[in-house]
Structure 1
Amino acid sequence: MVTQRAYKFRFYPTPTQKRQLAIEFGHARYVWNWALERRTKAYKAQGESLNTIRLSRQLTVLKQTECPWLSEATASCHTQKLRDQDRAFKNFFAGRGKYPRFKRRHQTQSVRYQLDQRHVAKNFNAESKLLKLPKLGTLKLKWSQRMGGIPKMVTVSKDPAGRYFVSMACEVEIAALPARKNAVGVDVGVKDVVVTSSGDKSGAPKYTYQYARQLKKAQRRLSKKKKGSQRRRRQQQRVARIHARIADSRRDFLNQQSSKLINENQVICLEDLNIKGMLRNRRLSKAVADCGLYELRRQIECKAKWYGREVLIVDRWAPTSKRCSECGTIQESMPLKVREWECPDCGTEHDRDINAAKNVLRWGTAGSAETDKARGAVKTPRAVA
């Protein structure tokens, strides 16, 4: 299968490269904010919509008159920011995103470079670990994975924790995994992030709770720093590093779980949960967000396309937790505090999550007809398992 695959590497810039990147980030941020202001004022005053081509012409005049210092940065980075904003407005008008906002200095900064495909061999070579960018020279990267293909664009970013990254996307051919004959049902939840119909439980690392004490201490110190001072900015970076450690740990855990499901099973059945609705529960929202349930489903679906697996989605209204997987009897209610229960009809003892995973597998492989039949008179959504 030929597809676009993204690669992200840690970047360790030299002091000279840091200074140049500070210029690139600052100029790109200025161009974004300048273009956003021009678009907003033009629409409010005259009902006129400005696009990238018209703004690019105005930007050229701006460089020649009011802001000659913009020439210190790479010109292609300015153009890419205008294109990014054009895409952001298209997403806004299509209902896929919010109205674009002005960028701040201490948020994530990024610039995108376009590689000249005529001379790309001089600037990029994955085998010899070579990458050169305009006005930056050779970059020192942590080549943590092998790359396939040749990128057309390279994005350099800096996160609030002060770390630099390089991202590239290439067209690669991914070989499908050997076909298997088994299928698995997956129930996700807070106590165990992944529970399979075969009885495997992943547990829940709860990284937010693991780092809660460090985060609380760092945020308390941040609240006492004077606004606008260098000490406050350094403390902000310390807080951002803790958040980055939590996010990286969670992402690594979810990658391990999704890869395990893809490698061991041909068909994966998932439940179509309302994640946004779960996050509105004031008692469970923090725990649900810490599990990364939406990211887990996204990874499974993406890897399934790459490696020739099949993902089946079960209706969110199906009573997976309160239905006996042996005889099919549906209980009237099943509170969250009930983790184990015995079926009054057949006497089978159930683990709540494993029983739900078995039902997900059955309804996922049986199709929508049996799911609609099993729903019956169910009128309320199932709570978070």
Structure 2
Amino acid sequence: MSYPANVTFEGDYIKLNRKIGKIYCRRHRDFEGTIKTVTISKNSDGKYYASVLVDDGLDKPEASTEGKAIGIDLGLTDFAVTSDGSKFDNPRHLAKHQQNLKRKQQKLSRKQKGSNTRKKARRLVAKVHSKISRCREDFLHKLSRKIVNENQVIAVENLNVKGMVKNHKLAKAISDCGWGMFCTMLKYKAEREGKTYVEVDRFFPSSKTCHVCLNQVESLPLDIRNWTCEHCHTNHDRDINASINIRNEALRILSLGTSDTANGGSVRRLGGKISCLLDATPNEIGSPNYIACN
């Protein structure tokens, strides 16, 4: 339910209208500006929340690329790996609460349908899910805030999360990470502070390309976490190398002012995947991609 006008805050109370009057609330932050709309919602665990839309009267800052740039490679073992070598562990919120959730669900399944005890058991299950959701959001907010505060240009991959969760072996783990929510947080926080958020194409071969010489290997299975470039003999951490390539590709996109590939989108690999580093691969004797010229 939304209240578009005549909503005021008086200390720890919110006054919606004359009929409802004052309601005790807990505000997680103070705000300045004109209240436009207050939306009241109720979660499945029985708690009520008020979302306040405020017009602060400030203009949106212009985006700038002057400053530190960072690339982020998202994963399951490590939630995020950055181009400067930082690794952030995957907290696995669902796994931590799995046993508690299992017990609550088992008790719910034993209750008679339509009974009051079943309604109470359903609410207990909803509270566990709410706890998991709030823990996940807290982690994502803190990590996204840290990254936005420390960097000017933020680059990530445009992941097809909806397609990835179709893999029934990894669906639960991928859903528990919240990659889509994390990218959304990075984007709006960066735009709010005049910073630049860039998404690199999901088919960009960030893991299989050496960031030193741009040589690309043909195959790199997921179980290989470290590999050595055949051309320059550089040993790579798979995730750090991918994040560096994501950062470099984002800077190339910004310098060209377009997200197209190096040949304007006409270069394609087998299977229809785009390769924007194909023409940038060194054409030297000894390289696996060497092409003799007349």
TM-score normalized with structure 2 length: 0.83
User: What is the RMSD computed on CA atoms of the aligned residues?
Assistant: 2.4
* Alignment match of 1:143 (pick from 23, 27, 36): 27
Q: In the aligned structure 1, how far is the partner of 2:109 from the partner of 2:264?
A: 53
Give the structure 2 partner of residue 281 of structure 1.
167
Deviation of 1:378 (Å): 4.7
* Alignment match of 2:40 (pick from 132, 153, 156): 156
Instruction: Could you tell me which runs of 5 or more consecutive residues in structure 1 were left unpaired when the two chains were aligned.
Output: 1-110, 117-122
- Answer whether contact 2:228 2:235 (CA < 8 A) is retained: yes
Deviation of 1:115 (Å): 2.1
Give the structure 2 partner of residue 261 of structure 1.
147
Q: 1:146 to 1:204 in 2, by over 3 A?
A: same
* Alignment match of 1:237 (pick from 123, 132, 154): 123
* Alignment match of 2:203 (pick from 292, 314, 317): 317
The Cα offsets for residues 45-103 of structure 1, whole Å up to 9 and x where unpaired, read as xxxxxxxxxxxxxxxxxxxxxxxxxxxxxxxxxxxxxxxxxxxxxxxxxxxxxxxxxxx
Q: In the aligned structure 2, how far is the partner of 1:291 from the partner of 1:381?
A: 26
Q: In the aligned structure 2, how far is the partner of 1:307 from the partner of 1:255?
A: 15
Q: In the aligned structure 2, how far is the partner of 1:311 from the partner of 1:378?
A: 29
Q: In the aligned structure 1, how far is the partner of 2:145 from the partner of 2:115?
A: 45
Give the structure 1 partner of residue 49 of structure 2.
165
Give the structure 1 partner of residue 97 of structure 2.
211
The alignment partner of 2:197 has SS state of strand
Q: 1:381 to 1:339 in 2, by over 3 A?
A: farther
Give the structure 2 partner of residue 225 of structure 1.
111
The alignment partner of 1:168 has SS state of strand
Deviation of 1:165 (Å): 1.2
Deviation of 1:263 (Å): 0.6
Q: In the aligned structure 2, how far is the partner of 1:165 from the partner of 1:307?
A: 27
Q: 1:372 to 1:335 in 2, by over 3 A?
A: farther
Q: 1:211 to 1:375 in 2, by over 3 A?
A: farther
* Residue 138 (structure 2) pairs with residue 252 (structure 1): yes
Code of the aligned partner of 1:214? N
The alignment partner of 1:263 has SS state of helix
Code of the aligned partner of 2:49? F
The Cα offsets for residues 8-31 of structure 1, whole Å up to 9 and x where unpaired, read as xxxxxxxxxxxxxxxxxxxxxxxx
Q: In the aligned structure 2, how far is the partner of 1:266 from the partner of 1:374?
A: 31
Q: In the aligned structure 1, how far is the partner of 2:201 from the partner of 2:263?
A: 7
Give the structure 2 partner of residue 113 of structure 1.
3
Deviation of 1:140 (Å): 0.9
- Answer whether contact 2:38 2:50 (CA < 8 A) is retained: yes
Q: In the aligned structure 1, how far is the partner of 2:197 from the partner of 2:38?
A: 32
Q: In the aligned structure 1, how far is the partner of 2:104 from the partner of 2:83?
A: 42
Code of the aligned partner of 2:3? Y
- Answer whether contact 2:12 2:26 (CA < 8 A) is retained: no
Q: In the aligned structure 2, how far is the partner of 1:197 from the partner of 1:155?
A: 40
Give the structure 1 partner of residue 220 of structure 2.
334
Give the structure 2 partner of residue 270 of structure 1.
156
* Alignment match of 2:179 (pick from 293, 296, 299): 293
Give the structure 2 partner of residue 307 of structure 1.
193
Deviation of 1:156 (Å): 1.9
Code of the aligned partner of 2:153? V
Q: In the aligned structure 2, how far is the partner of 1:151 from the partner of 1:196?
A: 38
The alignment partner of 2:271 has SS state of coil
Deviation of 1:168 (Å): 1.3
Runs of 4+ aligned residues of structure 1 deviating over 4 Å after TM superposition are 174-180, 371-376
User: How many residue pairs were aligned?
Assistant: 265
Code of the aligned partner of 2:2? R
Q: 1:178 to 1:323 in 2, by over 3 A?
A: closer
TM-score normalized with structure 1 length: 0.64
Q: In the aligned structure 2, how far is the partner of 1:267 from the partner of 1:371?
A: 24
Code of the aligned partner of 1:112? S
Instruction: Could you tell me which runs of 5 or more consecutive residues in structure 2 were left unpaired when the two chains were aligned.
Output: 254-259, 275-294
Code of the aligned partner of 2:44? P
Code of the aligned partner of 2:200? V
Q: In the aligned structure 2, how far is the partner of 1:207 from the partner of 1:259?
A: 19
Q: 1:256 to 1:372 in 2, by over 3 A?
A: farther
- Answer whether contact 2:78 2:90 (CA < 8 A) is retained: yes
Q: In the aligned structure 2, how far is the partner of 1:371 from the partner of 1:255?
A: 38
Code of the aligned partner of 2:39? T
- Answer whether contact 1:262 1:300 (CA < 8 A) is retained: yes
Code of the aligned partner of 2:53? A
Q: 1:164 to 1:174 in 2, by over 3 A?
A: farther
Code of the aligned partner of 1:147? F
